[in-house]
A and B are shown apart, each in its own frame.
Chain A
Amino acid sequence: MRLVALAWRFLWARPLVAGLNLALLALGVAAMSFVVLVSEQVERSVQRDLAGVDLVVGAKGSPLQLILAGVFHLDVPTGNIPLATVGTLREHPLVARVVPLSLGDALQGHRIVGTTPDYPAMYGAALAEGRWWQQSLEAVLGADVARDTGLAVGKSFVGTHGLGVGGEAHGDTPYTVTGRLARCGCVLDRLVLTDLQSVWAVHETATATDEEDRKLLEAEREVTLLLVGYRTPLAAVSLPRWVNAQEGLQAAAPALESARLLRMVGAGTDVLQGFGALLLLAAAASVFVGLVHAVREREPDLAMMRMLGAPPWRVGALVLAEALWLALLGAALGLALGQGLTGLLGWELARQRSLHVSGWWWSPHQVALLAGTLVLAVAAAAWPAWRALRLDVSRLMQAPR
């Protein structure tokens, strides 16, 4: 038996106290780990999905809503804008690229996005199987869509009206799956991509009562959002103002709005982090009190060890080792719990067709969390270890009272 094994035995000689301290430590570590894992993944996801989008143009409304709808596909869009806006912006001297998006339908909760090949190209998306759409009513599925729907290349599906689950099915205009995207860890995983013509065809077929109606609808074609890339960074100064000055148009800068969003989310994560830190401090206090009592209770054991030849530092090290065992176990349990909670959140978000969060994500900050827990345990054990070190061994010789 070595000193660390002896410390382990002494630790679990009082299982209730040890269990309580372990639970407190694990909960504190879990809370902080959860916040770190989720916030890092959300931030990474946000940066990934921004992917060189300098400006989002849509119907007048909240800029944040435009970003959430157009870049992250989390919110409903503010409305539609005339198709002619695409041409107008493409001709603007400050604009390098315009990617139109048309929204309005969904497949089992996954948004069907009418767009151009520039959209998947922005994210460096590649096909895992099949080919890109070449004509109307052909679609490519994101990785999560293919997994959730079970649709394979060559199969057909019908979209439903609206961006959520349910809604009236457009049974007259089924799509054919021509391809499946490789997982990119970006927003495309959750989307069904097709061409703009498909989205118009579905709605015109559903809405038009006769040929004249159809011609009218064709003339009034709209898109939902435009993802704009600047030709020069100087465009950031004037282009948004120019867009906002156009009737019915709203410009939103993704970098600005997502920074604001992360700041708002950050307030919540700060609270959680603070809660986690409080739990850890409570655990440290509990470890301190537990070890003080343990040293007092175990004075005869520790004095006997000195009598058996243990130098004072070894007796102090025994107390420190107990604390370190608690910290190691607590941190390991806490980190595992944090990963588990993150995985649970990721499952729920996937169910809601929302951001991608994984329980398998590992952050370097978790190493710091482990180290911090060990340091906290050592700090909590310092005074009890010092007391053990300075034990009066001659008390062993005293007669019982």
Chain B
Amino acid sequence: MLELHDLEFRWSAASPPLRFADVQVGQGGQLLLRGPSGSGKSTLLALVAGLLTPTAGRVVVAGSDVGALPGGQRDAWRGGALGFVPQRLHLSDSLTVAGNLELPFVAAGLPLDRARVSALLDRLSLAGLASRKPHEISVGQAQRVALARALVRRPRVLLADEPTASLDDAASDAVLGLLADAAREDGATLVVATHDARVAARMGGTQVLELAP
């Protein structure tokens, strides 16, 4: 489902290469990218998401060599196969909670699946907040909205960048539990990038890729 083969990336010809160990994660599996700041976690996520092109090696996601796809196909692939929960959530304050869940369909030019949106709002206890704006809800609620947005198109790979940043233990636990449960229910492969030791402890048994600066 997710494979890294001899993966290497350079920001420029003069910069040192970032090399990543080979990894294979099956469909529905979990991968933890662990390392301190500057170790390349976000870069690797960007490579997996097709936002960056490897300078060497391959990233194969759901059967597609992402780095080899032309730009237009990469966008379409990302729209269909990928769900992403960014570190800063990036919910649109111009839209309501429900509007933020509809955004992935608009972005990909797909027909809106209202039933899916309603189901996710219910599943993540957000139904009562559907008409609120992101600045009107709590941080925890906003994280659930970001997760729902990532899941609304039934992605095959779910990426989460530092999902427990700025959260206390209880909140971290809740978020990680939600991530893992949601990915499992939809059969998605979960990739979590973090420097937080609590995440490794919570995600026991998960494949781990250690990154060093």
Which of the segments B70-78, B119-127, B169-177, B182-190 contacts the partner chain? B70-78
Cβ-based interface call for A19 (8 A) = no
| A311 to B50 CA separation, bound complex (whole angstroms) | 13
Cβ-based interface call for A232 (8 A) = no
Say whether B84 contacts A310, CB under 8 Å. no
| A398 to B104 CA separation, bound complex (whole angstroms) | 21
| A393 to B42 CA separation, bound complex (whole angstroms) | 12
B104 contacts which of A10, A300, A308, A311 (Cβ < 8 Å)? A308
Say whether B99 contacts A310, CB under 8 Å. no
Cβ-based interface call for A2 (8 A) = yes
Cβ-based interface call for B130 (8 A) = no
Say whether A309 contacts B107, CB under 8 Å. yes
Say whether B79 contacts A394, CB under 8 Å. no
* CB nearest neighbor in B for A318: B106
Contacts of B43 in A (CB 8 A): 397
Contacts of B209 in A (CB 8 A): none
Say whether B94 contacts A3, CB under 8 Å. no
Cβ-based interface call for A364 (8 A) = no
| A307 to B87 CA separation, bound complex (whole angstroms) | 13
Against A, the Cβ 8 Å flags (1 = close, 0 = not) of B92-133 are 111100010011111111001000000000000000000000
Q: What is the minimal beta-carbon distance from B180 to any residue of chain A, in angstroms?
A: 22
Say whether B72 contacts A311, CB under 8 Å. yes
Contacts of B76 in A (CB 8 A): 309, 311
* CB nearest neighbor in B for A4: B106
Cβ-based interface call for A390 (8 A) = no
Cβ-based interface call for A303 (8 A) = yes
Say whether B42 contacts A309, CB under 8 Å. no
Contacts of A314 in B (CB 8 A): 107, 109
Cβ-based interface call for A306 (8 A) = yes
| A397 to B49 CA separation, bound complex (whole angstroms) | 11
| A309 to B50 CA separation, bound complex (whole angstroms) | 10
| A1 to B109 CA separation, bound complex (whole angstroms) | 10
Cβ-based interface call for A13 (8 A) = yes
Contacts of B28 in A (CB 8 A): none
Are A310 and B51 also in contact (CB < 8 A) when A6-B106, A305-B107, A397-B161 are?
no
Are A309 and B104 also in contact (CB < 8 A) when A300-B88, A301-B90, A394-B51 are?
yes
Are A309 and B90 also in contact (CB < 8 A) when A397-B45, A398-B42 are?
no
| A138 to B11 CA separation, bound complex (whole angstroms) | 99
Cβ-based interface call for B37 (8 A) = yes
Say whether A309 contacts B80, CB under 8 Å. yes
Q: Is the interface of A mostly helix, strand, loop or mixed?
A: helix
A residues contacting the other copy or chain, number (CB 8 A): 28
Residue with the highest number of chain B CB atoms closer than 10 Å, among A3, A298, A304: A304
Say whether A307 contacts B49, CB under 8 Å. yes
Contacts of A6 in B (CB 8 A): 95, 103, 106
Cβ-based interface call for B25 (8 A) = no
Q: What is the minimal beta-carbon distance from A115 to any residue of chain B, in angstroms?
A: 69
Say whether B90 contacts A303, CB under 8 Å. yes
Q: What is the minimal beta-carbon distance from A302 to any residue of chain B, in angstroms?
A: 10
Contacts of A9 in B (CB 8 A): 94-95, 99
Q: What is the minimal beta-carbon distance from B18 to any residue of chain A, in angstroms?
A: 13
Cβ-based interface call for B86 (8 A) = yes
Contacts of A399 in B (CB 8 A): 37, 42, 87, 162
Cβ-based interface call for A396 (8 A) = yes
Q: Which residues of B contact A (CB under 8 A)?
A: 37, 42-43, 45-46, 49, 51-52, 71-72, 75-80, 82, 84, 86-88, 90, 92-95, 99, 102-109, 112, 149, 161-162
26 A–B contacts, CB within 8 A, in A order: A1-B103, A1-B112, A2-B106, A3-B106, A3-B109, A6-B106, A9-B95, A13-B93, A301-B90, A304-B107, A307-B78, A307-B86, A308-B104, A308-B107, A308-B149, A309-B80, A309-B104, A309-B108, A310-B108, A311-B71, A394-B46, A394-B51, A396-B86, A396-B88, A397-B46, A397-B86
